[in-house]
Structure 1
Amino acid sequence: MDWFNNFWSIYSNLVLSLGTNALLALSIYLTLACGMLSIANAAFMGIGAYTSALLTMNYGAPFPAVLAAGMAAPALMAFIIGKPTLRLSGVYLAMATLAFGEVVRIALLNAESITGGALGLNGIPQLTQWWHVALALVLTLALLWRLRRSRVGRAFESIKEDETAAGLMGIDVGAYKMLAFVLGAAIAGLAGALNAHLTFFIGPGEYGFDRAVDILTMAILGGISNLTGPVIGAVILTLLPELLRAFKDFRGVVNGFILVLIVLFLPKGIWDPARFRQWFGKRGGRI
């Protein structure tokens, strides 16, 4: 077991980051599954991270309560901003949620007495264990799988295909979009709370535009036709920089080139069951 102990001491943070990034990819999968292009998930992650870290550092709150608060705070914020922003769609919704993300980042930057400003929060207790991340991911996948197969999931799919037609069929489009937006924010906040108690330090720069694009890329890269795609996308996007360390200064270039190739040749994502069925069907026909 010495080899495992050595591996875990070196790569434990990376392995646990796979889980938190998978949660982030699933959080934006929810809004995409409802036909909404929201780029606020990085901001929701930041709200969850700061809320949980402050409760731990200033009040010594128990970890389960901290995680619950890390989910509740961004969910409440999503409900508040969802009223005006979810009336928008497409690129206009993306711009509105992107602006919200910048507002959150600047607020964290300027509230120095609470958030530490540009210096962030240091010395956050490392309370996140591997089973916390594993349990959170399993429960989230189970919830979303059940949601997909329920009346709510069918309503999400209808809204995604044609919002007007869904409304004419009696589906409360506004309520379902709000549900997806709030639930996605809660999952992003959970990822932020777990990550904050894993890395010892958080700062406003971690929850800006770059992180928002990374979260969106994870879901699109893996594919949003089912729950497997976002998880695969998160794993690939997390591991690629580590696997490309040999390229040193050119690592970012090679990383971007690989992602471009995947998007060009696999436009529906890496995990596309329809493509697999078609491919295996052709092989079966030949046989």
Structure 2
Amino acid sequence: MIEWFASNETLLLTALAYHIVGLSFQVVLRSGVFSLAAAGFWGIGAYTSALLSEPLGWAVAVVVALALAGALALGLAAVVARLRGLYLGMATIAFDLLVVSLAYGWDSLTGGALGLFGIPRSATLLSVGGLAVVATFVVAMLQSRAGGRFVDALRTDETLARSLGIETGRLRAATIVLSGVLGALAGAVTPLIFGVLGPEESGFPLVVLGLTIVVIGGSGSWVGPAIGALVVTALPEVLRGVDEWRDVVYGALIVLMVIFAPSGLLGLARSARQGLRRRLVRAPAAEGAGR
């Protein structure tokens, strides 16, 4: 078992990082706040961690990355406070592209198109796993029964939620900030896993990755990103023999999930459990009627 973990450490670390990416998108999709800024904050966290991990140590670098992302996310939330739906999505996509443009253009700091190399590979299963557990715990607590009702009310009808006394403006801002911090956390640990970082890793491809994780797993709770991260991590290994068809398989899988399982694999599992429970309840009743 220990040998298996050692030989698959990078794969497991990737799955943990993907899980945090999924959480950053799940919190906004669950609340109905169509913000895709987590991809941009991923880049901010990644470059901050990559630049500071050697002089300050990985732990301090991650803390600084999260603090910087939190401050910038709060500012972004104030700027886009009046935007909703597609307009909010486009504004946050523009933010992601701005971060990518800075990464390409700021050669002296980010290495430009070549990126950064020789980053200390400080990530371990214990450290990244611990951060993933903390992130999951925070999301689970905020989406618990009481908090979950507020979030669901915001997603369903913001006007109704406001009439019920929910401070929707603050809730929307908090959701954007949490998503940004989670995105920055995923970005901060990624260069510590692979030792390299390029500007092409963030931006729109990361938006597609995050949405794919949530669509496959489900956006109902933190369990969905965990399931989606495992699937997205395992698929390249499964499809290694047909690598040229990987994008086709990804696209087909997403289309099938959207059409036949819009709630993701988590929703399918819940439906199957409810169906089994109904059958178990009906069975004794049918036996009693037969007597």
The answer to whether TM tops 0.5 is yes
CA distance in 2, matches of 1:153, 1:278: 21
Label 1:127 to 1:253 Cα distance change in 2 as closer, same or farther (>3 A): same
User: Percent identity, aligned pairs only?
Assistant: 35
Residues 53 and 60 in structure 2, CA contact (< 8 A), matched pair in contact too:
no
| Corresponding position: 1:176 with 2:171 | yes
Counterpart position of 1:45: 42
Counterpart position of 2:90: 95
CA distance in 2, matches of 1:145, 1:194: 21
CA distance in 2, matches of 1:52, 1:245: 31
Q: Which runs of 5+ in 2 are unaligned?
A: 284-291
2:148 to 128, 153, 157: 153
Aligned positions of 1:226-245 closer than 5 A: 226-245=221-240
Structure 1 length as normaliser, TM-score? 0.92
CA distance in 2, matches of 1:117, 1:94: 27
Q: Secondary structure at the match of 1:270?
A: helix
1:285 deviates by 4.8
1:79 deviates by 0.8
1:274 deviates by 4.6
Q: Secondary structure at the match of 2:265?
A: coil
| Corresponding position: 1:219 with 2:214 | yes
Residues 241 and 252 in structure 1, CA contact (< 8 A), matched pair in contact too:
no
CA distance in 2, matches of 1:281, 1:244: 36
Q: Which runs of 5+ in 1 are unaligned?
A: none
Q: Secondary structure at the match of 2:101?
A: helix
1:259 deviates by 2.8
Q: Secondary structure at the match of 1:37?
A: coil
Residues 215 and 254 in structure 2, CA contact (< 8 A), matched pair in contact too:
no
Counterpart position of 1:276: 272
2:79 to 71, 81, 84: 84
Aligned positions of 1:69-218 closer than 5 A: 69-149=64-144, 151-218=146-213
Q: How big is the alpha-carbon RMSD for the aligned residues of Structure 1 and Structure 2? A: 1.7
| Corresponding position: 1:31 with 2:32 | no
Structure number with bigger Rg: 2
Which stretch shifts more, 85-94 or 256-265?
A: 256-265
Structure 2 length as normaliser, TM-score? 0.91
Q: Secondary structure at the match of 1:17?
A: helix
Residues 39 and 213 in structure 1, CA contact (< 8 A), matched pair in contact too:
no
CA distance in 1, matches of 2:262, 2:17: 25
* Count of residues paired in the alignment: 282
